[in-house]
């Protein structure tokens, strides 16, 4: 017998939630077959079969388990049946290859016929990268007519249950309860902790997006052709914040007990919304990254976040956070600190408003404006520093050339 043990998703994580088993007791599994997914408060991982043999679960799916617990066994001495049975969750032995759950969901969303995808994972399993490669080769949109793309308003099925996305019937008084995912529990704990442990204040400003929008319009095609990634707003804001962090080092610091911990590097966390909650993957050493590096890394991390593939290391250790509520239409908000960080910048929706034309005093112009919010820990950062930091960001966005000459 070979034990199937809950691995450690990362330092300080001691308990995980076991997903639903993908195989019935007695079914034959090959080495590296997907057994289930395990969810921690920071990441979701796949639990793979350590050996080929007959599968036997030791605990029920959906249960809470501690790291190191034996949750199943593989009878490696069992005789492999002539016809291998497959569970409903696994791929069909005849018409479909072995597929990871993440790849299956992506294929369903994009209409990819999995029988046409060559698997490069363990034992020929189709991975997310294989599906993405198929999509890129075939072009944008629905890839295969045989694919069953997700319909708007349909239910989204995951290993941990079915989350209805449609609208309930009018007059219905039905109620339901769903288990709160561990990552959502952890988000709640951290947000409450930040409000209780920090002297949090928020200062506001607004910036004229005209110059950044002009630069994007003029250079986006050439930028994408050279770097194979789009030129977004986030690259400008990350660069602007890096300059401000280096000018005001307390904004980039931690308060640990009775000591300040200053950082000579800028590890910028960028908030990404997923169906499991908000996660904040980190851009390591953002001060040394070009616009293309920033945009490429954000795209990579956002894709991993949506697929539940972020590692614990990719979500921890940031020194400053940027969150963009504008993508959801937010006009103004007060973002909550991402402890132990000292500050977080909130971006918002761009709205054309009447403002005084800086080039012609006393005249009014219609400009694309964005409200900026900086929430900060007043125990570390004085009000003057917070305001000056936000003004620095505003100046860099309104005059992007400042970022080229280090102002």
Q: Is 264 a catalytic residue?
A: no
For residue 195, pLDDT over 70 is answered with yes
Q: CA angle 371-375-379, nearest 5°?
A: 155
Best-predicted range by mean pLDDT among 120-124, 226-230, 362-366, 370-374? 370-374
Band of the pLDDT at 163, cuts 50, 70, 90? very low
Confidence at residue 266, expressed as pLDDT on a 0 to 100 scale: 97
Question: How many CB atoms lie under 10 A from the CB of residue 302?
Answer: 18
Question: What's the whole-number mean pLDDT along residues 360-382?
Answer: 95
Q: How far apart are CA 93 and CA 81, in angstroms?
A: 13
Q: What proportion of the chain, given as a percentage, has pLDDT over 90?
A: 49
Q: Residue 250 in contact with residue 374, Cβ under 8 Å?
A: no
Lowest-pLDDT choice from 114-128, 135-149, 212-226: 135-149
For residue 388, pLDDT over 50 is answered with yes
Confidence at residue 67, expressed as pLDDT on a 0 to 100 scale: 87
Q: Residue 28 in contact with residue 90, Cβ under 8 Å?
A: no
Q: How far apart are CA 42 and CA 63, in angstroms?
A: 17
Q: Rounded to a whole number, what is the distance in angstroms from the first to the last CA of the chain?
A: 65
For residue 287, pLDDT over 80 is answered with yes
Q: Residue 30 in contact with residue 52, Cβ under 8 Å?
A: yes
For residue 138, pLDDT over 80 is answered with no
Question: What's the whole-number mean pLDDT along residues 358-362?
Answer: 83
Q: What CATH number does domain 91-147 carry, 3.40.50.11900, 3.40.50.300, 1.10.287.610, 4.10.320.10?
A: 4.10.320.10
Q: Which residues contact 334 (CB under 8 A, 6 or more apart)?
A: 202, 346, 373, 375
Mean pLDDT of the chain: 83
Q: Which of 33, 267, 382, 392 is catalytic?
A: 382
Question: How many CB atoms lie under 10 A from the CB of residue 321?
Answer: 22
* Predicted TM-score of the model (pTM): 0.66
Q: Is 227 a catalytic residue?
A: no
What is 1-90's CATH topology?
A: OB fold (Dihydrolipoamide Acetyltransferase, E2P) (2.40.50)
The domain ranges of the chain are: 1-90, 91-147, 183-404
What is 183-404's CATH topology?
A: Chloramphenicol Acetyltransferase (3.30.559)
Q: Which of 3, 25, 275, 378 is catalytic?
A: 378
pLDDT tens digit sequence for 64-94: 888 889 999 999 998 888 766 654 454 444 4
163 upstream amide cis, omega within 30 of 0: no
Q: How far apart are CA 271 and CA 320, in angstroms?
A: 11
Q: Which residues contact 364 (CB under 8 A, 6 or more apart)?
A: 354, 355, 356, 357
pLDDT tens digit sequence for 329-348: 999 999 999 989 999 999 99
């Amino acid at each position: 017998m070979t034990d199937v043990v809950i691995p450690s998703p990362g330092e300080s994580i001691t308990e995980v939630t076991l997903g639903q088993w993908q195989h019935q007791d007695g079914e034959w599994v090959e080495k590296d077959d997907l057994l289930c997914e395990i969810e921690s408060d920071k990441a979701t991982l796949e639990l793979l079969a350590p050996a080929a043999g007959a599968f036997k679960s030791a605990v029920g799916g959906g249960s809470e388990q501690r790291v190191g617990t034996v949750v199943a066994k593989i009878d490696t001495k069992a005789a492999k049946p002539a016809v291998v049975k497959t569970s409903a969750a696994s791929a069909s032995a005849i018409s479909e290859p072995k597929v990871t759950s993440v790849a299956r969901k992506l294929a369903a969303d994009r209409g990819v016929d999995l029988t046409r995808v060559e698997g490069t994972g363990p034992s020929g399993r189709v991975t997310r990268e294989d599906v993405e490669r198929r999509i890129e080769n075939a072009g944008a949109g629905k890839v295969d007519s045989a694919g069953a793309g997700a319909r708007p308003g349909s239910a989204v099925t995951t290993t941990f249950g079915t989350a209805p996305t449609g609208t309930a019937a009018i007059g219905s008084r039905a109620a339901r309860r769903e288990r709160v995912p561990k990552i959502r529990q952890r988000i709640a704990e951290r947000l409450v902790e930040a409000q209780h442990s920090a002297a949090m204040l928020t200062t506001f400003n607004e910036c004229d997006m005209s110059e950044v929008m002009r630069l994007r319009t003029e250079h986006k095609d050439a930028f994408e052709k050279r770097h194979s990634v789009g030129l977004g707003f986030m690259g400008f804001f990350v660069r602007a914040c890096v300059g401000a962090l280096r000018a005001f080092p307390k904004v980039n610091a931690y308060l640990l007990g009775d000591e300040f911990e200053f950082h000579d590097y800028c590890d910028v966390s960028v908030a990404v919304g997923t169906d499991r909650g908000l996660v904040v993957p980190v851009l390591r050493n953002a001060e040394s990254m070009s616009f293309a590096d920033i945009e490429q890394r954000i795209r990579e991390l956002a894709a991993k976040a949506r697929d539940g593939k972020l590692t614990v290391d990719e979500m921890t250790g940031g020194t400053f956070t940027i969150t963009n509520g504008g993508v959801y239409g937010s006009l103004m908000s007060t973002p909550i600190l991402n402890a132990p960080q000292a500050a977080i910048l909130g971006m918002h929706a761009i709205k054309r408003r009447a403002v005084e034309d800086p080039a012609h005093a006393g005249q009014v112009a219609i400009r694309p404006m964005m409200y900026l919010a900086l929430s900060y820990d007043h125990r570390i950062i004085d009000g003057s520093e917070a305001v000056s930091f936000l003004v620095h960001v505003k100046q860099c966005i309104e005059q992007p050339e400042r970022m080229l000459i280090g102002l």
